[in-house]
């Protein structure tokens, strides 16, 4: 009798395990149905990334934490997502095997709670050359976003 109960319990759990999946519709953001409160960024930040973050958060309103792994990208896109992250009240975390560099750092610092086991990298603004006015405008945007 006990063997039948154990078999029935095991068999009933199998369909649940088979249903877990990694949803990639919002790449570079990924959602794992086994960890419903976590959304993962794994890729570069570009002009479409903020839009995809918004769509992913709309599709998965239970998300509380954003796991970050990115070499970065454009400063304005990183700042825009930082605003989205802050407004959504998300926590940010860099996993042990993750790297959050450049524009990704803005996203990390926007978290209402932050944790890191991986690498976080920041640098000065790139591509400014001798254009001091442009650099001041970009820094103004950075400070306004923070």
Predicted confidence band of residue 17 (pLDDT cuts 50, 70, 90)? low
| 79, pLDDT greater than 60 | yes
Among 123, 119, 109, which residue's Cα sits nearest to residue 81? 109
Over residues 32-60, mean pLDDT: 97
Correct CATH for 21-145 of 3.40.50.720, 3.40.250.10, 3.50.90.10, 3.90.226.10:
3.90.226.10
Read off the pLDDT of residues 81-97 as tens digits, 9 standing for 90 and up: 999 999 999 999 999 99
Residues 6+ apart with CB under 8 A from 59: 25, 26, 31
What is the helix (H) or strand (E) element at residue 114, kind and residue range? Answer: strand 114-116
Which candidate, 43, 96, 32, 97, places its Cα nearest to that of 65? Answer: 32
Average pLDDT over the chain reads 84
Q: In whole angstroms, what is the distance from residue 107 CA to residue 5 CA?
A: 49
Contact assessment for residue 126 and residue 140, using Cβ atoms and an 8 Å cutoff: no
Output the CA–CA distances (angstroms, integers) from residue 70 to 7, 57, 133, in the order listed. Answer: 44, 18, 29
pTM above 0.85, yes or no: no
| pLDDT reading at 12 higher than 80 | no
């Amino acid at each position: 009798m006990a063997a039948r109960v154990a078999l029935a319990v095991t068999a009933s759990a199998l369909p649940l395990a088979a249903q877990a999946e990694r949803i990639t519709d919002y790449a570079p953001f990924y959602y794992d149905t086994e960890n419903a409160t976590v959304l993962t960024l794994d890729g570069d930040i570009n002009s479409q990334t903020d839009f995809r973050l918004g769509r992913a958060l709309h599709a998965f309103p239970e998300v509380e934490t954003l796991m970050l792994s990115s070499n970065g990208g454009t400063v304005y896109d990183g700042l825009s997502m930082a605003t989205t992250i802050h407004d959504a009240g998300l926590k940010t975390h860099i996993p042990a095997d993750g790297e959050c560099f450049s524009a990704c750092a803005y996203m990390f610092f926007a978290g209402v709670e932050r944790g890191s086991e991986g690498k976080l990298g920041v640098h000065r603004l790139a591509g400014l050359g001798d254009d001091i006015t442009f650099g001041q405008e970009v820094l103004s945007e950075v400070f306004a976003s923070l």
